A and B are shown apart, each in its own frame.
Chain A
Amino acid sequence: GIQVEQSPPDLILQEGANSTLRCNFSDSVNNLQWFHQNPWGQLINLFYIPSGTKQNGRLSATTVATERYSLLYISSSQTTDSGVYFCAPESSGTASKLTFGTGTRLQVTL
């Protein structure tokens, strides 16, 4: 099956700082999602981004499917951004399924 690697595994930022999270995947994909898992365990949808760039407020994401990676940008980070960020590409083919990476754990401090 598809392999998904996320980096960095852990990140500590001061409030107001910017960051870039990376997701590499090993196979061609039909689509890719980014999620934020809050401290209560809820997976919040951030982006559905099979290719190209999308922006939503302080967050933006870029997927380059031909080079098998996606990036999540967080600007002007806030303490509420803390949690774990997962990317989940959906492999192409008849048996497509969402496969999660190991996540990036982000802590934003005052």
Chain B
Amino acid sequence: EAGVAQSPRYKIIEKRQSVAFWCNPISGHATLYWYQQILGQGPKLLIQFQNNGVVDDSQLPKDRFSAERLKGVDSTLKIQPAKLEDSAVYLCASSFSMNTEAFFGQGTRLTVV
């Protein structure tokens, strides 16, 4: 069974530029999560989808971050404009439904210079 796929693996951008990350969850998984992991910290939930609806986006900085999951499968996370403090690993995860085991992709390492 294929795991959670993310791209790109690495991205370096200048501050004030925009960037987008893509996630393809495990087939059949209705719940999709985006986490931000800053170096030395645990992952922090940015947004959680159930199919194509948002369940929780309370920690998403909505002035610069946006995410969508239009057909309830793939998802994109966008940052516009990026700040230095956005440098982190962005992790995508999926689960069959809420309250079931979640599986993570390899992440996208973003460096903002």
Contact = CB atoms under 8 A, between A and B. Distances in A.
Interface of A: 4, 30-31, 33, 35, 40-43, 45, 48, 86, 88, 90, 95-103
A40 B106 CA distance: 9
A66 to B, nearest CB: 18
Given A99-B45, A103-B42, A42 B99 contact: no
Contacts of B98: 90, 96
Contacts of B55: 95, 97
Contact of B44 (A30, A35, A45, A100): A100
A42 B42 contact: no
A48 B100 CA distance: 8
B43 A100 contact: yes
Interface string B81-113: 000000001010100001111111011010000
A30 B102 CA distance: 13
B44 to A, nearest CB: 7
B38 to A, nearest CB: 11
A102 B102 CA distance: 18
